[in-house]
Amino acid sequence: MTLPYGRVQFRERIACPLAPGGNRDAREKIANLRDIFIRRHNENPLIFMAQVGSSDPEEFGLDGAVEFPPNKFGFNLPNIRDQLKILDQDFAGKVVSYDELVRRFLAEPVQEFPLIKTVCPDWDNDARRQGRGFTLHGALPAKYESWLRACTRHALDNPVYGEPFVAVNAWNEWAEGAYLEPDVYYGAAYLNATARAIRDAG
């Protein structure tokens, strides 16, 4: 999906995202996948990895990376759980500051390899992990909009294969508290923030 706001292409999905870090045969398998595309379709695809750490995609024979917040930096941030009033006394998960997460992502220097910057509206996967989840604290539509604005400016200044891309994690990941779809609390605030950030970038 491409939204007609400015010169930044806002897409809901990047073709062939992979997270190869835990696979020792990743480079060989990716090369085989590329060979299949070339032989069957006469196309050499751009294959990107989901960047959950700071891995260089070239290590795996990939063409670039798409950030995957909050995982890329979130696990290394301080746990602020003890600074908050937690109602569940058995909660043993990790809580990090949304503001600090955004700061870490924006402070990263421009990489030598193609990198699509990514934002997330929020994150709370405790529904999947039952008291052991990972939660961002302090997320708001205005903060998300500011992050997205910075990433759209970055995309214009650092196009990926000639195109300015920005990604959002996620559209409707309700079980992980990451969604742009309207809800009863914020209404369409996150969608409106997305439109403003991308429209004003061009």
Q: Mean pLDDT in runs of 10 for the chain (202 residues)?
A: 40 47 78 92 91 85 94 92 93 96 96 96 93 96 97 96 94 93 96 94 72
User: How do residues 115-174 score in pLDDT, each as one tens digit?
Assistant: 999 999 999 999 999 899 999 999 999 999 999 999 999 999 999 999 999 999 988 999
Judging by DSSP bridges, how do beta strands 172-173 and 178-179 pair with one another? antiparallel
Q: For residue 112, is it within any domain?
A: yes
Q: How many domains does the chain have?
A: 1
Query: Is 71 in contact with 105 (CB distance < 8 Å)?
Result: no
Q: For residue 147, is it within any domain?
A: yes
Alpha helices in 62-188 (DSSP H): 71-74, 98-107, 126-129, 141-157
Q: For residue 3, is it within any domain?
A: no
Query: Is 93 in contact with 129 (CB distance < 8 Å)?
Result: yes
Kindly report the pTM of this predicted structure: 0.86
Match 């045969």 to its residue by tokens: 25
- Is the Cα dihedral 47, 56, 115, 144 positive or negative? positive
Q: For residue 181, is it within any domain?
A: yes
Residue 91: per-residue pLDDT: 93
Q: For residue 16, is it within any domain?
A: yes
Q: For residue 148, is it within any domain?
A: yes
Residue 74: per-residue pLDDT: 87
Residue 182: per-residue pLDDT: 96
CB burial of 56-71 (b: ≥16 within 10 Å; e: otherwise) equals: ebeebbbbbbbbbbbb
Boundaries of domain holding 153: 9-201
Q: For residue 108, is it within any domain?
A: yes
Match 């290394």 to its residue by tokens: 76
Residue 192: per-residue pLDDT: 97
Query: Is 179 in contact with 139 (CB distance < 8 Å)?
Result: no
Residue 25: per-residue pLDDT: 84
What count of Cα atoms within 13 Å lies in the side-chain half-sphere of residue 30? 24
Q: For residue 1, is it within any domain?
A: no
